Amino acid sequence: MGVSRKVRIAIAAWHLRDFNVGLGRYGRALIEAIGRVDRENHYEILMPDDSCRFPARPNMRYRLIRFPIFKRRFWEQVAPLLSGSHDLLHLPYDSCVAWKRGKLVVTIHDVKPLLFGSPSQGRNVNSMVERFLVRDKWGRIDHVLTDSHCSRRDIVGRLGVREERVTVVYPGVEPERFCPAKSGPVGLGSGRPYVLCVAGADPTKNVGALVEAFAKLPLPIRGAHDLVLAGDFRRRVDLHEQVKRTGIEKQTVFTGVVSDDRLIELYQQAVLFVFPSLYEGFGFPVLEAMACGCPVISSNASSLPEVAGDAALLVDPTDVEGLSGLMKRVLTDGELRRDLRARGLDRAAEFSWDRTARETIAVYRRVVGEVGGEA
């Protein structure tokens, strides 16, 4: 490849501790894939705890760095300074460091806070701390990775980052884990078939539209199915009230946060997966559901058409009647479900974490000037 020397790369993997959210899934899978495909460069993986175990690699050092003040904004500033010398630091999420010891690559998964506002005051405080410490964020960041062309357009348009400094690298899916069950959908504990959504408290997930659409299904169809909502909805009092108000309380299951193994079972056993989100930088649940052989109805907003391709039925997330109509079609048409299942499996197979790793490593090399000059 014309590389003159091995590149020393540090990856600040704070979000490994958030196993059940996209940032944690991205960080864990990317590090595992880099370890599989790259035996040349040297890596130091900076970890805030030991909750995630990686295979031993001769060119990878796993460095556990803990502080009494266990806050991300503090940890990410100090942890890279305590690591060995490196040519490049990768923050696999949207942040920045005040003191650089090499090149800096940052993954910005989306610009949702700019479009919809910050969901919590704590994040506003964190942003203030970062602005105070970092000041010229875009002057410090050498290159941006992002998950989709939709996010790239938003980063360039909303943040004013030059196009040549932003590279799209699609995330992947783990086919050895997210795969169809040996038998078909069998329902939840009751054995009843169910419609699944994997989301959380964030209002942009638009779960209320799904609740409304499910409630509008013709009674014979609605009565034969449950609605399973996986994720942390404890703070969504409005959603729980909506479920009661629409008369589907006995058919609605709030699972809470589930383990990866349980999540895969939910995907495998669902008769239909619905993802009505208003905005996603990528949309892991759509890809994971397809990989598990579950038919998918997805929002047509933001990056989701990029991920779904022609393997899902797409709908305007604000069109509750349209969503309910598509759900009726899928739930009553076995041939359509089989077709969506087959197309979804083919589509999911196009997203490989090994490819993600190779394309990410190519950016590392380019940024440090090993191949083709500066980024």
CATH number of 8-172+352-368: 3.40.50.2000
Which uninterrupted H or E stretch holds 355? helix 353-368
Mean pLDDT over residues 193-202, rounded? 95
Q: How far apart are CA 352 and CA 37, in angstroms?
A: 12
For the chain, the domains span: 8-172+352-368, 194-348
Q: Identify the band that residue 130 occupies on the pLDDT scale cut at 50, 70 and 90.
A: low
Kindly list the strands in the beta sheet with 166-168, ordered across the sheet, starting from the edge strand earlier in the chain: 60-64, 42-47, 8-12, 88-91, 103-107, 143-146, 166-168
Answer whether residue 79 shows pLDDT above 80. yes
Phi, psi of 154 (to 5 degrees): -65, -40
Q: Can you tell me the distance from the alpha carbon of 199 to that of 136, in angstroms, rounded to the nearest whole number?
A: 34
Q: Round to whole Å and give the CA distance between 166 and 57.
A: 30
Query: Could you tell me the sign of the dihedral formed by the alpha carbons of 153, 159, 162, 164, in that order?
Result: negative
- Mean of all residue pLDDT scores within the chain: 90
Q: Return the CATH number of the domain spanning residue range 194-348.
A: 3.40.50.2000
Please give the single-letter amino acid code of residue 61: R
Return the percentage of the chain with pLDDT > 90, whole number. Answer: 70
The pLDDT value recorded for residue 115 is 80
| pLDDT tens-digit series, residues 108-128 | 999 988 787 655 544 555 566
pLDDT digits 0-9 by tens, 55-70: 999 999 999 988 766 6
- Looking at residue 266, its pLDDT comes to 97
DSSP characters for 131-155?
Answer: HHHHS-HHHH--EEEES-HHHHHHH
Q: What is the DSSP letter of 43?
A: E
Q: Would you say 56 and 43 are in contact if contact means Cβ atoms under 8 Å apart?
A: no
- Asked if domains 8-172+352-368 and 194-348 share a fold, the reply is yes
Confidence band, pLDDT 50/70/90 cuts, at residue 221: very high
Comparing C-alpha atoms, which of 144, 139, 71, 73 is closest to residue 110? Answer: 144
Q: Identify the CA nearest to 99 among candidates 188, 28, 10, 20.
A: 10
CB 45 within 8 A of CB 63: yes
Alpha carbons 244 and 348: distance in angstroms, whole number? 36
